[in-house]
Amino acid sequence: CEKLDLQPISSTSLLEDEVYSTYDGYLGVLAKCYASFVLQGQGDGDVDISKNGGRSTFNRALYYLQECPTDEVLFHSSSGNGTWTMITMNWNPATEIVGNMYYRLWISVALCNEFIRKTEKDVMEEYGVYNEAKNDVGQWRAEARFLRAYCYYLLCDLYGSVGWVDDSSPNGTYPVQKTRTEIFNYVESELLDIEDQLMPADKKVFGRVNQVAAWFALSRLYLNGEIYTKKDYNEQAYIYSKKVIDNSNFSLAPNYIENFLKDNDGSPEIIWAQPHDADNSQSSGGTNFLIKYSSHKFMINQGLELGITNDSPWNINGRLKTNLVNKFDLDDQPFDPSDPWCDNKKDKRALFYGGPLTGDQSKSPVQPHLKETWREGKSFEKNITLGYTFTKWRNVTKDRMSGEEQRESYVSVAYPMFRKADAYLMAAEAILRGGGGSRTEALNYVNEVRNRAYNSGNYFSSKNIANGAISDNELNLDFILDERARELWTECVRRTDLIRFNKFTKGYNWDWKGQETSNNTDHEGKDVDDKYNLYPIPQDDILYNPNLTQNPDYM
Amino acid sequence: DIAFSQQKVTINEDQMVTIDKVFEIIKKQTDYRFIYPKKLFENKPKLQLKKGIIKVEDLLRLSLISNDLSFELSENNNIIIKTAKKSKNTNASVIVQEIQITGNIKDINGVPLIGANIIEKGTTNGVVSDFDGNFSIKVSNANVTLIASYIGFITKEIIVSDEKNITIILDEDASKLDEVVIIGYGQVRKKDATGAVVSIKPEENNRGSATKTTDLLLGKVAGLQITMPSGSPSSDGTIRIRQGASLNASNSPLIVVDGIAGESFNQLNSDDIENITVLKDASSTAIYGSRGANGVIIVTTKRGKASFDGKSVSPSFNYRGDFSINKNIKTLDVYNADEFRTEFLKRYPDLGSVLGDSDTDWQKEIYRLGFTQKHTFSATGALPYVPYRVSLGYQSDKGTIKNSKKDLATVAINLSPSFLNDHLKANITFKETYRNVPESSSPVESAAFMDPTAPVYATYPNNMGLGYYMFGADEMGTLPTDTSNPVASINLARGESKNYRTATNFKLSYNIHGFEDLTLTANLGITANDYSSSRNVLDNSPSTWGGYGGTGIGIYSSNDSYSKISIQEYYANYKHTFADIHALDVTFGHTYEKYYSRYENSPVLMNDNDEVYEIGSSGASERALMSYFGRANYNLNDRYLFTFTMRADASSRFAPETRWGYFPSGAFAWKLNEEKFLENIDNLSSLKLRLSYGQTGQQDINNNYAYQASYRSSTDDSRYRFGDVFYTTYRPNAFDRNIQWEVTSTYNYGLDWGISNNRIYGSLDIYKRFTDNLLMEDVRVSAGSNFSDTLDQNIGEMESNGVEFSLGAILLRTDDLEWSVNANFAYNNSKIKKLTVYDGAPEDTYIKTGSIGSSRYSQIHKVGNTPYTYFLAKQVYDDETGKPLDGVFYNPNYDASVSGSEEFVYDDANDSNKFDTGKSSLVPYYGGLSTSARYKDWDFGLNCHFAFGQYVFWETASRGSNESLYDSYGLNPKNSLDNTPEWSQEHRFSDYWLHKGDYFKLDNITVGYTMSELIKDAGSLRLSCGVQNVLMLTKYPGIDPEVYSGIDGSSYPRPRMFMFTANLKF
């Protein structure tokens, strides 16, 4: 039967033996575990998640879930996958966009499980690479376990009680369902277990995680722990976020925007960076998505330098809600064409684009922008003149080099998964929630972030217009929630934050929230059912994995 | 001797044989032995045998009568040949013959029938016609009735009154019941077939258009649905037998050309086809095992002339020229410029500046009169021992859309030499095809949607846009927002795709000396397909100002692919009849097939500096199939027929432990007309009952390595950065070690009948089919259990049943006039029973299908439903006006007895807003009608086909309603189908767009005239003209409801073709 034992012959196909017979082969599989958080697939049209192309990339999928149903962003185009459903918060188990993140996370889990299985000592000995790799394999395994744990954290945060499977079962095993608390406990135990096996805190390699990333992940896990387990974890949240803050290997970048530019691989602030590269790591998600979906070729042709070729933009499909824009000082809100880098704003984080377009508009339907995403008496419109878009993310270096020759079709801006500024705000919040530490300490943490935003205090520069520091009497939990919006908008934490503050479904409403339709002329938000605090498990997985039960009220 | 009088033999092909050879044929198929002096038949004329069945007694009489010989049957089945007693006087039974009648016997085409039997009615007095069809018979009186008979022709009685010289024209037996039909690895008499088998000879069907090979079958076979190709010259039709047995794996029937399986139809020149046989039920297809599940179509190509005794036969030549002028007959009804302006300004009063002041009918701009010509020339003859046929074909098809074109050249060579006294036969076929299609865009829809106020041409500085209008550009040519000018995309397309295909097939069969019951056959075939295409976007063309950096620099690229199929088959056939009544025909064999393919897409490079715009890619893949098969046909007393088949297939697509599939089948047929109790029914010529059951397999999925653990490396643009180094990543591919055969079991009940000497004949088939372990590609798998969210798996079950009915009649038949009609009709209904790996899934389980763009699906496969059921939002209509309400739909979950709103407003992403319409795109009722008539040298033909019960989603209209007058991003005004409501928002999933797809089509009408005896009694010329796509009756509002997928996205419309054909034979 030799004649029937045919093996893949394509140059892009490899057999297990070929992959695992070299050190670099192992590294390539680990790189895939990471790349699953950045790229859609292996290139040449290949997509890890077969049905959803760019929308299935990790950060873009997460963005739809963490940003759309909040006070931050808005999508105009309904492209058949459920973005409107996100805006109006009436998704269901069949909503395509709800499933993208779920499947992306599970693929990452499966990839990590496989890597962990293949890095068992006896397996590596069989492939003959153990000796060469034995000094590194411990760290590799810890990295894969970190990535897997972070996926389970997100599954826990987004979907609640989900399936569970680890490397002890062979590929093909269906996950069995665990409670949300069990998933939480598993993530916690994994992160604590690998904490000391990861790359030490004083080292860093761009694109990979070290010990500090584990501390950061634990901070985020603990800060939200009560939501997942009904148990208070603020003390641990404080301890671990303080560990991040006290680590001197990472520090806030002198200017806020430097974290979101082409050369942000040099930013000292980013603890876990997801690399994008115009030539070597092309993704339709992540920063490529953020820059293109929020821009239009008119913006580039009229002088706003985003570092992308003018056929790249996706026609301003993504906008900001006025609820976010209004969290900034009124003076900081409008866009000033003569100040495209927002140097003349008090808060340098108000990186909005709006206001009048210049140039010849005689043949163009484009009219001056409005801050509002709707026009009085009109329905939700697919019109680029409505709503502000943003320029926080740019494929330009911090020396603001620009010009046509520097424009790229894809972008080279890394996406900051974990950023130290977030650790300051987490620590401050944990303190205010009674996790330990002092109020003064909390105020200092918040002001560290604000001074950097205003180029004041320790971060003073010639661009300073006003002092960003707040006084003790301004500091409270609600302020922190707003400050998190100002600091971290479009960074995929908003939904989790609102839930932690019990403001996601009820008690705080933003444009379009709870409307039955995106076409309604009434854009005023209203309360929604509490079931929306969790996303449903995609209907397909309920169907194809008989071990699973749907989240309450989605059945 | 009753047994002797019933005994028959089969003549497999038309042949010219010696009388010795006739005896050999009889010996081989019966238990009779011959006793006669050697050299008795030396220098005796040869006999022309027609393909078919003949009684041994008749065959003997035919062979001997002209030689003044007679025969008698002795003990031990010996037939003794004797010289007939010469003396008339001593033979009391011979009537005194006084009158000599001479004559000529021929077929309707004027071809002489050699060796036809002419007998004086009521006597044993008879003669046989000679080489020229001439005969001479002495009869007792002037008013005598002669009976003329010939195998494969209808026996005719001729009343001779005082004529000394008569011409007899015999008609071929239209019912073809005596014909031999090709089945897998062998052949069988049609009337002995146990399965649902239909055979078609293209030569005998009036052909409307010969431009597409699938046209030959359109509407001709019950249960065979051909969705006609679109109007594009390069498009081919879709063929389905009984709708196909799979849900997601291939539903295409297996096409076997000259014994080589897996061939393609459209690469054949229709003029090279001798015969097409369609196998429908499992008992006929099971011999093809894994690939027979969707039915089998066996094509035999034409061969050379038989060569006798090593003599050459001078060739006859055939030229056929087809010419047609093709005209587009329907365009979409959209706003003209004034209407568009009015509607646009009503909606966007502030945006008038974006409109132009032209009045362009974009649809008119893209069409032209098409012209097709096709020339086929063939020579058929024999060199010593080597019959040959050579055919050359050329086709040039200029479509009705400007610049659409196809050039096709074909060469077919067939050699069929025989050696060792015909014991060793070879058949060698070469088929070469070259096809060239220029790059074509698909402007049908973009032309319909283009802003009619925009001009076609515009001039910008520096030759920007190459003279074509670019929407949104200012006078300087800058900032076009839409560069999809359909006329520019047609005229500026550069590039072509070339396809060179070569198929070689070598077949050798050896009839063992001394053991003639056994024949061994080897069949080797190699088919290679070389495909290459190139593409170039010209600098400055409109699209370069929209894409590729918006710099005006074009791009170029090329793609190459190659595939090779090699097949080896070895089989043995044993035929023997025991004790007169037990006829056994056993075949067993082995095949191995290997498929190889590779592709290479070059990088897309910029015209100016060869810089890579998009990286290239390449890949390759192989698969193999190994099989053992066996079949036994057992014929008891020529009444009870049994067929048993077993095939074992192993596919490289499955793991060693699941690799082998075993596919058995059994069939029984009962020739009721041979029974005593039906003997007295007048007019009943044949009646046969057929019962069969069988299993077939399916493994035809795209992934050749679905069971194997493998990795995919990343391309250079998808690497991951560690520190400063970009690493190539390796991803394990999802796999399912347990993937295995999809198995289809079919029960078939059939009845064949013929009355009035088979002038009226028909068949009825009823079947029930179950498919288990449905192979489904890319079906969702439990998340986290594998390396992708989808996997190729065996997930379900499907059940179908159907009825097929066909009826034919020769309504009139005289020497000058013949008129026949044929009709067929089929019903099929399929239901999905299961869609999950495990049992007990929820009842309403469904899988989305029917993609209408990124992540948009309009259909579902749902348990309990027909596959491809539409899944849409239910439109609410205004009670008074009856018009659909903008954005208002019924809540599919609405239940009047519970709370909840009846109506809801729609979001196209929400499945829960859609409902199961219960309407599918699959065609449940399908049929064909044809009629042909001949009056003297004139012939006439007409073909129709029809379908009803299916639904069509008019996707073009769903995107071209008024809501899209201004497109998604407010940048490109788009025209609208003006019969759609004035909607302000997207309604793409509204069931308002779902229409009944019933149609009746008059496919073609042809009239022909034949001039025979052009050059000295030889040669003929037939001239014909006709119209293709004559008439369509339908209520469907779009261009054409005949869309295989059921989603009408405006493909290239089928043109009306005015045809002229000249066919010269000499």
Task: From chain A, pick out residues whose CB is under 8 angstroms from the CB of B594.
Answer: 3
Q: Residue B498 and residue B475: Cα distance in Å, rounded?
A: 40
Residues of chain B with C-beta less than 8 angstroms from the C-beta of A60: none
Same domain, A126 and A54: yes
User: What is the number of structural domains in chain A?
Assistant: 3
Q: Same domain for A315 and A376?
A: yes
First CA to last CA distance, chain B: 47
Residue A227 shares a structural domain with residue A348: no
Distance CA B797, CA B776 (A): 11
Q: Select from A31, A114, A384 the Cβ nearest to the Cβ of B970.
A: A384
DSSP three-state, residue A330: helix
Domain membership flag for residue B201: yes
Please list the residues that pair with B691 across neighbouring strands. B668, B749
Interface contact flag, A15 B985, Cβ < 8 Å: no
* Neighbouring C-beta atoms of residue B85, cutoff 10 Å: 12
Q: How does the average pLDDT of chain A come out, rounded? A: 90
Contact in structure between A66 and A496 (CB atoms under 8 Å)? yes
Per-residue pLDDT band at A359 (split at 50, 70, 90):
very low
A233 to chain B, minimum CA–CA distance in Å?
29
Contact list, A34 vs chain B (CB under 8 Å): 720
**What is the rounded CA–CA span in Å between residue B505 and residue B565?**
11
Give the residue from chain A lying closest to B910, CA to CA. Answer: A95
Number of domains in chain B: 3
Instruction: Indicate yes or no: CB of B782 within 8 angstroms of CB of A175.
Output: yes
Q: Residues near A443 by Cβ (< 8 Å), separated by ≥ 6? A: A428, A470, A471, A472, A475
- Per DSSP, the three-state class of B803 is strand
Cβ distance of B783 and A9 shorter than 8 Å: no
Q: What is the DSSP letter of B67?
A: G
B481: chain A residues, CB-CB within 8 Å: 364
* Closest CA of chain A from B618, distance in Å: 7
CB contact under 8 A, B626 and A1: yes
List, for residues A13-30, the tens digit of each pLDDT value. Answer: 999 999 999 999 999 999
Do A170 and A40 lie in one domain? The reply is: yes
Instruction: Give pLDDT, residue A301.
Output: 72
**DSSP for B204-239, written as a single string:** GSPPS--SSGGGGTTTTSTTEEEEPP-SSTT---EE
Q: DSSP assignment, residue A396?
A: S
Contacts from B807-816 at CB under 8 Å and sequence distance 24+? B807/B760, B807/B761, B807/B762, B808/B174, B808/B175, B808/B760, B808/B761, B808/B762, B809/B759, B809/B760, B809/B761, B810/B174, B810/B759, B810/B760, B813/B171, B813/B759, B815/B169, B816/B935, B816/B936
A207 closest CB neighbour out of B619, B722, B837: B722
> Do B214 and B194 lie in a common domain?
yes
- The CATH number covering residue B266 comes to 2.170.130.10
Average pLDDT estimate for B812-835: 90
Shared domain for B105 and B79, answered yes or no, is: no
Return d(Cα A85, Cα A536) in angstroms, integer: 13
pLDDT tens digits for range A389-410: 899 999 999 998 766 777 888 9
Residues B136 and B233 grouped into a single domain = no
Same domain, yes or no: A111 and A177? yes
Judged by CB atoms closer than 8 Å, whether chains meet at B906 and A517 is answered as: yes
* Contact between B911 and A92 using a beta-carbon 8 Å cutoff: yes
Residue among B712, B727, B735 whose CB faces A12 most closely: B712
Residue B898 domain-assigned?
no
CB contact under 8 A, A31 and B719: yes
The verdict on residue A112 lying in a domain is yes
Per-residue pLDDT, averaged over B283-290, amounts to 76
Whether residue B587 contacts residue B571, with contact meaning beta carbons closer than 8 Å, is answered with yes
Interface test with A, best of B699, B782, B857 (most A CBs within 10 A): B782
Contact A12 B709 (CB under 8 A): no
For residue B588, count other CB atoms closer than 10 A to its CB. 16
Give the model confidence (pLDDT) of A462-484 as tens digits. 999 999 999 999 999 999 999 99
- Arithmetic mean of pLDDT, B430-459: 89
Of the candidates A24, A48, A80, the beta carbon closest to that of B855 is on A80
Percentage of chain B exceeding pLDDT 70: 89
- Taking contacts as CB-CB distances below 8 angstroms, the residues of chain A near B855 are 51-52, 55, 79-81, 96
Residue A134 lies inside a defined structural domain of this protein:
yes
Which one, of B87, B390, B399, lies nearest residue B235 by Cα?
B399
Write the residue in A53, A90, A175 that is nearest to B784 by C-beta: A175
A310 contacts in chain B (CB < 8 Å): 549-550
Q: What percent of chain B has pLDDT over 90?
A: 36
- Tell me which of A405, A435, A456 is where a domain ends: A405
Query: In angstroms, what separates the C-alpha of B837 from chain A's closest C-alpha?
Result: 8
Contacts of B909 in chain A (CB under 8 A): 78, 80-85, 95-97
- Lowest pLDDT segment from A92-106, B121-135, B164-178, B259-273: B164-178
CA of A384: which chain B residue's CA is closest? B969
Determine, yes or no, domain membership for A386: yes
DSSP string for B479-494 = --SB---HHHHHHT-B
For the residues B523-527, what does the mean pLDDT come to?
A: 93
* pLDDT of amino acid A241: 97
Rounded CA gap, A304 and A314, in Å?
A: 15
Q: Do A9 and B621 touch (CB under 8 A)?
A: yes
Instruction: Indicate if A48 and A83 belong to the same structural domain.
Output: yes
Closest CA to A285 of B1061, B718, B171: B718
**Shortest CA gap A444–chain B (Å):** 33
Nearest chain B residue (CA) to A105: B784
Predicted local confidence at residue B92, as pLDDT: 41
Distance between CA atoms of B323 and B370, rounded to whole angstroms?
11
Q: Let me know whether A87 and A115 are in one domain.
A: yes
Residue A51 lies in a domain: yes
Q: Which residues of A touch B840 (CB under 8 A)?
A: 546
How many angstroms away from the CA of B227 is the closest CA of chain A? 28
> How many A-B residue pairs are in contact by the CB < 8 A criterion?
343
Residue B948 tokens read as 């009803």
Q: Is residue A361 pLDDT above 50, yes or no? A: no
Identity (one letter) of the amino acid at B1046?
A: G
- Do the Cβ atoms of A240 and A219 come closer than 8 Å? yes
Asked if A42's CB is within 8 angstroms of B712's CB, the reply is yes
Rg of the Cα atoms in chain B: 33
Q: Tell whether A286 is covered by a domain.
A: no
B223 plus B286 within the same structural domain: yes
Domain assignment of residue B991, yes or no:
no
Q: Do A6 and B731 touch (CB under 8 A)?
A: no
Residue B556 clears pLDDT 70, i.e. is over it: yes
Strands B273-279 and B197-200 turn out to be antiparallel
Residue among B351, B786, B986 whose CB faces A171 most closely: B786
Instruction: Name the closest residue on chain B to residue A4, using Cα atoms.
Output: B652
Go through B615-631 and write b for each residue having 16 or more CB atoms within 10 A of its CB, e for each that does not: bbbbbbbbbbbbbbbbb
* CB neighbour burial string for A233-268, b if at least 16 within 10 angstroms, e if fewer: bbebbbbbbbbbbebeebebbbbbbbbbbbebbebe
Do A111 and A187 share a structural domain? yes
Q: Which residue of B has its CA nearest to A316?
A: B969
Residue of A42, A95, A270, A385 to mutate when probing chain B, most B C-beta within 10 A: A42
Residues A43 and A82 grouped into a single domain: yes
Q: How far is A361 from chain B (nearest CA, A)?
A: 9
Question: Is the CB of residue B546 less than 8 Å from the CB of residue B483?
Answer: yes
> Is pLDDT above 90 for A498?
yes
Contact yes or no for A39/A281 (Cβ under 8 A): yes
For residue A476, the enclosing domain spans 209-275+414-492
> What DSSP assignment string belongs to A162-196?
-EE--TTS-TTPPPEE--HHHHHHHHHHHHHHHTT
CB contact under 8 A, A543 and B780: yes
Are residues A92 and B737, on separate chains, in Cβ contact within 8 Å? no
In this structure, the answer to whether residues A37 and A97 fall within a common structural domain is: yes
pLDDT tens digits, one per residue of B957-989: 888 887 777 765 556 778 888 777 777 766 788
pLDDT computed for residue A527 by the predictor: 94
How confident is the prediction for chain B on average, in pLDDT? Answer: 84
> Most distant CA pair in chain A: distance in Å?
81
Beta-carbon-side half-sphere exposure of residue B295 (alpha carbons within 13 Å): 26
**Nearest Cα to B792, choosing from B295, B292, B241, B247?**
B247
Give the nearest partner residue to A6 out of B473, B624, B911, using CB atoms.
B624
Spell out the residues 6+ positions from residue B913 whose beta carbon is closer than 8 angstroms to its own.
B873, B889, B891, B892, B904, B906, B907, B989
**Residue ending a domain, choose from A405, A422, A453:** A405
Is B619 close to A50, i.e. CB distance below 8 A? no
What is residue A521's predicted lDDT score, i.e. its pLDDT?
59
Contact A364 B709 (CB under 8 A): no
- Residue B426 CA to residue B415 CA, distance in Å, equals 8
Q: Is the pLDDT of residue A347 over 90?
A: yes
Q: Which residues of B touch A49 (CB under 8 A)?
A: 788-789
Nearest chain A Cα distance for residue B244, angstroms: 25
B807 belongs to a structural domain: no
By the 10 Å C-beta count (0-12 exposed, 13-18 middle, 19+ buried), B1013 is classed as: exposed
Q: Please, are residues B1049 and B852 in contact by the beta-carbon 8 Å criterion?
A: yes
Checking if the pLDDT of B898 tops 60, the result is no
Mean pLDDT for B209-225 is 73
Q: Of A283-287, B134-138, B139-143, B838-842, give the range with the top mean pLDDT.
A: A283-287
Could you tell me if B159 and B55 lie in one domain? no
Is there a contact between A11 and B618 if contact means CB atoms under 8 Å apart?
A: yes
Q: Which of A365, A384, A405 is the last residue of a domain?
A: A405
Which CATH number do you get for residue A146? 1.25.40.390
- Is the sign of the CA dihedral B843, B847, B849, B853 positive or negative? positive
Contact B935, B816 (CB under 8 A): yes
The residues, ordered by sequence, that sit 6+ positions from A135 with a Cβ below 8 Å of its Cβ are: none
Average pLDDT over residues B621-625: 93
Tell me which chain A residue has its CA closest to the CA of residue B986: A78
Specify the pLDDT at position A276: 96
For residue B807, pLDDT beyond 90: yes
Is this complex's ipTM strictly greater than 0.85? Answer: yes
Q: Which of B144, B172, B200 is the last residue of a domain?
A: B172
Residue A43 to residue B717, Cβ atoms within 8 A: yes
Instruction: Tell me how far apart the alpha carbons of residues B284 and A280 are, in angstroms, rounded to a whole number.
Output: 55
- For residues B315 and B389, what is the distance between their CA atoms, to the nearest angstrom? 9
Residue B634 identity (one-letter amino acid): Y
At residue B291, does pLDDT exceed 50? yes
The amino acid occupying position B400 is T
Classify residue A7: in a domain, yes or no: no
One domain, residues A186 and A225 = no
The answer on B283 and B212 residing in a single domain is yes
Within a domain: residue A6? no
> What's the rounded mean pLDDT across residues B10-33?
76
Q: Which one of B353, B470, B711 makes the best mutation probe of the A interface by having the most chain A beta carbons within 10 Å?
A: B711
The pair of three-digit structure tokens given for residue A514, joined into one six-digit string:
């709870």
Is the Cβ pair A165, B785 closer than 8 Å?
yes
Residue of B350, B474, B907 with shortest CB distance to A85: B907
SS3 call for B279: strand
> DSSP H helical segments within B269-393, as ranges?
282-285, 337-347, 362-366
Q: What domain range is B281 assigned to?
A: 189-301
Instruction: Please name the residue that has the structure tokens 């205010």.
Output: A432
Token pair of A13 as six digits: 């196909």
Residue after which a domain boundary falls, among B301, B333, B360: B301
Task: Give a yes or no: residue A339 inside a domain.
Answer: yes
CA–CA dist B700, B288 (Å, integer): 13
Query: Which of B710, B718, B984 has its CB closest to that of A15?
Result: B710
Domain containing residue A257: CATH number: 1.25.40.10
* B922 pLDDT above the threshold of 60: yes
Q: Please give the Cα distance from B871 to B974 (Å, whole number).
A: 27
Kindly determine whether residue B721 and residue A275, on different chains, have CB atoms separated by under 8 Å.
yes
Q: Token pair of A454, please?
A: 């205003």
| Residue that finishes a domain, picked among B301, B325, B360 | B301
Do A45 and A167 fall into the same domain? Answer: yes
pLDDT at B75: 62
Q: Are B687 and B673 in contact (CB under 8 A)?
A: yes
Rounded to a whole number of angstroms, the distance between the first and last alpha carbons of chain A is 50
Is B73 found in the same domain as B34?
yes
Does B235 score more than 80 pLDDT? Answer: no
